[in-house]
Amino acid sequence: MHLIIFQGLMIPFIGTTLGAACVFLMKEQMSEGLQRALTGFAAGVMVAASIWSLLIPAMEQSAHLGRLAFLPAVGGFWGGTAFMLLLDELIPHLHLDEDQPEGLRSHLAKTTMMVLAVTLHNIPEGMAVGAVYAGLLLGSKSMTVSGAMALSLGIAIQNFPEGTIISMPLRAAGQSKAKAFLSGTGSGAVEPAAALLTILFADLVVPVLPALLGFAAGAMLYVVVEELVPEMSVGAHSNVGVMMFALGFSVMMVLDVVFG
């Protein structure tokens, strides 16, 4: 079981690493259309994962509460939203194609704040994977090995374009290909770390698992609405972001239903 969990935690990180490696193969500049498409796909995967892999299992595990089965999921959801809002206000970061940094004032380099922006939204993805594997370890009936692996694979698939989205602009901003690759890979290293911390927390406080699943869902959807949706819609009107969102949502939904 421990080997399965290790593999499950590392699969999303491998997705980020492979995506960041595209900096060695592609032109220095990524087209606006491709960036929209990749961002929309990632957003679709995250929304579907939040629903099928996190919120629905959270409510299933609280079925003994009857009509109040939604309470742990909703409470955790708002906790995750508040958590990401707090990090958003505290951590200095700079979104792609933006000139004004967010968070506390700092003297960090622009490229460093760009990496922090991606690192920030990788935290809830790691928590989501960790929460599902925690449920598996604790013997939750709504969690299966195949379902947990489906989530890991889904996050890895959407991490591939994310790794590309961060490494390519860093290269365009003046970093060497090797440094841009390492920066992109490093932004994804927070995922297995966040996953492991989530598992350890769930193991200490077993009854909070449904709330923890809701927490991860709230954190992920915060990132989607606050960051990914605006990025996939920036510039001249185009439907590419919306269509890729639908594709990402469909891919994650199929993975979760077929393997879950």
- Residues 217-258 pLDDT 10s: 999 999 899 888 888 887 666 788 899 999 999 999 898 888
pTM of the model: 0.85
Which amino acid is it at 170?
L
207 contact partners, CB below 8 Å, separation of at least 6: none
More confident residue, 241 or 203: 241
Give the mean pLDDT of 129-140: 83
Would you say 152 and 8 are in contact if contact means Cβ atoms under 8 Å apart?
yes
Note whether 215 and 148 are within 8 A (CB): no
For residue 227, give the amino acid letter. Answer: E
Q: Is the pLDDT of residue 185 over 70?
A: yes
